[in-house]
Chain A
Amino acid sequence: MNTLILRETTRVLFTLILVFSVATLLRGHDAPGGGFVGGLIASIACSLYVFVADPKDVRRLVRTDPLKTAAAGLALAIVSGLIGILSGGHPFLSGQWAEIGGVKLGTPLLFDFGVYLVVVGAVLTFVLEIKEPASVRPADSDK
């Protein structure tokens, strides 16, 4: 499957899809899109990359452990819910909005970004775990 065409196309597509995924995330509140779909689109980019490259290279490229990315996304979502509590005693996960320079910003966007990270992290974890040969995994060193 690791053909030249796929490999070279992926090089270009990877970046393009990632940009597209972020755009999908950001426009989500007013037009079709959102963190979940955006995260899935980014996952496709990463999966394509895993398809054609050595998993080790992918890990080097994304720098962090994808599972930690997912956990960080979850933490971000929780934090976005806490902001409402701290800034005026609203119930957990109440949206808070502010307009800065004509751009409306709100905790739901932060929450959506958390969802995005969880989805990317989780899918990348699945894909990498499947693709990696057993021997390079740290957990198997006790054999």
Chain B
Amino acid sequence: MAALGIPTARVPVLLRASVALPAALFAWFCSLVPRVSSGETLHWEIGWIPQQGIALSFFIDGLSLLFALIITGIGTLIVHYASEYMRGRPQLPRFTAFLLAFMLSMLGLVLADNLIALFIFWELTGLTSFLLIGYKHEDAAARRAALQALLVTGVGALAMLAGFVLLGEAAGTYSLRELLAGGASLAGASNYPWILALVLAGAFTKSAQFPVHFWLPNAMVAPTPVSAYLHSATMVKAGVFLLARMSPVLGGTEAWSVTLVCLGAVTAVYSALASVTRTDLKQVLAYTTVMALGTCVMFLGLAGEPESTAHTAAAVAAAAFILVHALYKAALFMAVGTIEHATGSRDIARHGGLRHKLGPTFVGTVLAAVSMAGLPPFVGFVGKELLYTSAYESRFGAFALFAIVAASVLIVTAAMLVAVVPFFGTMTQSARDAHGVTWQFWIGPLLLGLLGLVGGVATAPVFHGLVLPAAAAIAPLPEHFEPALWHGFNPLLLLSLATWALGAFVFWQRPVILSLPGKLLDVLPVTGDRVYDAAMDGIARFSTALTRRMQSGIQRRYILAVFATLALSVGATLVAKDAIYLPSQMPSVTFGEWALVAVIAASVLTVILTRSRLLAICALGVVGTAISLVFLLRGAPDVAMTQLIVETLVVVIVAIVLLKLPDFRNEIRQPLRARWRDGAIAVAVGTVTTLVLLAVTARPPQLELTEYFESMAVPGGHGHNIVNVILVDFRAMDTLGEISVLVLAAAAVCALIRRRSRYRFDRFLRLQAGHSTRPGRARASREGA
């Protein structure tokens, strides 16, 4: 922590300059608000593979614009905040690149038109999230959390991809715009349950729904700007975005609303309970984020309810809450990051009286926390009233209302925990030691807190500009829908008053009351985290066992397996396809060719019988040379030339290898039975290959391509050697691929040989003889040496 806040550390210029990108994008999206709020849908298309009709296409409606504004607006503040928070940390250019890459992926996700493109952007956000969580890569906890987040959301995303494919096939299009414009619900499709389950799996893992929520609190090891941006304001909302997007297509069924409402409610209440029992400020906020995600899911469930009048209100409530939450949560995360930066600790118990040291941060925190607690005149109040109203009016009435009230009570407590405990009271030691912070630290929280206030006062423009267009994408709104923002003194207002009172009471009596749920949560027999660990252990054990069986480390066995598989699979295919063709008459063979056959046969016999490795490899070279002479006789000089040189080169290289190898002929002599087995496999491979060649040559050759190349070589390729013209011009792309592989192979050989050389041959021989057979033990002893 001593590395934090070195005032002399160089300003990360790249990070600070890159604020311009999100800021410019934010301004551009702002300029689109009037057009989109009047009901227009904007659409762009960039040709990608036009010949195949594949294009990158994007569209903006109310929902994607709301998300795009959150992504770029909060992104601007976060990048700016990070440029000061991350000062003096290592690897900042890399960090900057990851952060911006994430932002662009997230934008792609919310703007994508094609389902597959959406999936790719979805995975890119997961990947950049992995890289950002693992920023402190020397820390084992950070590595674990990064991998966990990647795997949990990645498994969900794969399920989602399968769901998308089923959905695309059922609907006949992969374009979201066409899906939504068609207005067709897939509720009647035959595999609707599968589509729903698979898409929900993706959304729930990404948006950290119970019981797979565990990765999100663990992801808090990331630097705080990352937590504020990815893991509260944007990325974790991708699942919510997907559900909102899919609501017109997949919603409107019993399965949709029951699943979403129940799971969302459980997530909201469970995580609200968990949040107030934490002592780490970031953990408190992480669980309130999970609560907010649960709330969004629950209200999207209500919004997609079949034949209910409440669905409009729920859609508006969900859209409003997405905005409200993004505003206050990003502010609180940045404030907590500031506290950590100034004092070096995030432990609630160690803080107090920080308002004297961090004045502007304190103001921003209180503004955001009041919005979080849902007090008027903040936008949080409007959001909460909408939630209460739509829950009350829905078919799930009592259940939904109970869940949202219980969660809200605890969120009031959590808001007080974050805003009251560190800042009020007497100054603790850590507060006295705290260093002051520059304006870059507090401008973000203050601005977002004030925006929460402005949004609460000027509700009409916010709702008509942002929230209602977004809600209209979730569920159709009636003409001139006016959300009731003030209900007068009705029972729901009483409920709000009771919420604040209860929340404050729980905060006041927290040592007594919270010890109970804290214990309750700890005695849960199985947590997702533990299941994850068990699964990872299981996979590792399984692959270890499999590797021990498959990887004997003995080259001969590998070759045996490869050739036996080749002979069996190709042979079986030949028999199954009835492709065995034996020519009725002997093709004409010249005397010279017979001579070559005799040379080949004699060389093969030499290879088999000799006990000298050098002689064997030279005899193999003779086989290859004789074959290249056959090519030459049959009129393929280029192939012959290449074959001849390859054979020469192989002999030279193998000779170099053999000269370096110790003489262990006697140690690895095979018993007679094994030699018969090897011989049988060799004969089988030879037979199968011959049969394949006979089958291929039995058909008349297709000459269209040959004729094309022959006629085009000189006018199109300016060359008389057709083979070369094909290689470097007509099919140059293939050649480029091949030489890329060659370079990669050379790099791989470098790495492999340098590694292998650390083994010693005496150990290798012991391995062969079966003395020390466990690769694990061999490695251990090597490290010990």
Contact = CB atoms under 8 A, between A and B. Distances in A.
B719 interface: yes
A40 interface: yes
Interface in A93-143: 93, 95, 97, 104, 106, 108-109, 111-112, 114-115, 118-119, 121-123, 125-127, 129-131, 134, 137, 139-140, 143
A125 B653 CA distance: 11
A32 B721 contact: yes
Contacts of B652: 44, 47-48, 51, 127
A44 B743 CA distance: 18
Given A40-B645, A78-B736, A81-B736, A125 B749 contact: yes
8 contacts: A1-B655, A1-B659, A31-B720, A33-B641, A95-B732, A122-B745, A122-B746, A139-B754
Quick one: which of B649, B728, B754 has the most chain A CB within 10 A?
B728
B757 A137 contact: yes
Nearest to A27: B721
Contact of A130 (B653, B733, B740): B653
Contacts of A22: none
Contacts of A50: 656
Interface of chain A, main secondary structure: helix
B727 interface: yes
B718 interface: yes
Contacts of A111: 728-729, 732, 735
A34 B721 contact: yes
B750 interface: yes
A109 B718 CA distance: 11
B656 A108 contact: no
B750 A33 contact: no
B750 to A, nearest CB: 6
Contact of B732 (A1, A32, A108, A137): A108
Contacts, number: 154
Given A41-B645, A70-B746, A130-B656, A30 B719 contact: yes
A95 to B, nearest CB: 5
A71 B732 contact: no
3 closest cross-chain pairs (CB), A and B: A134-B757, A29-B719, A122-B746
Interface string B370-396: 000000000000000000000000000
A95 B727 CA distance: 12
A92 B729 CA distance: 11
A47 B657 CA distance: 12
B301 to A, nearest CB: 50
A30 B721 contact: yes
A33 B648 CA distance: 16
B723 interface: yes
Contact size class for A?
Answer: 35 or more
A118 B742 contact: yes
Interface string A19-50: 00000000011111111110011011001101
B728 A47 contact: no
A13 interface: no
A51 B745 CA distance: 22
Interface residues of B, number: 43
A106 B641 CA distance: 24
B295 to A, nearest CB: 51
B723 A129 contact: no
Contact of B649 (A44, A78, A121): A44
Contact of A71 (B649, B719, B724, B743): B743
Given A40-B649, A67-B750, A130 B657 contact: yes
Interface in B444-493: none
B743 A74 contact: yes
Contacts of A44: 645, 648-649, 652
Interface string A57-85: 00000000011001101100110010000
A37 B638 contact: yes
Contacts of A47: 649, 652-653, 656
Given A81-B736, A137-B754, 10 more contacts: A29-B725, A36-B727, A74-B743, A92-B733, A106-B718, A115-B735, A127-B656, A131-B656, A134-B758, A140-B757
A19 to B, nearest CB: 16
A48 B653 CA distance: 9
A106 B746 CA distance: 28
A43 B649 contact: yes
A33 B749 CA distance: 27
B638 A34 contact: yes
Contacts of B758: 134, 140, 143
A48 B727 CA distance: 28
B753 interface: yes
Interface string B635-653: 0011001100110110011
Nearest to B732: A93
B782 to A, nearest CB: 11
A92 B735 CA distance: 13
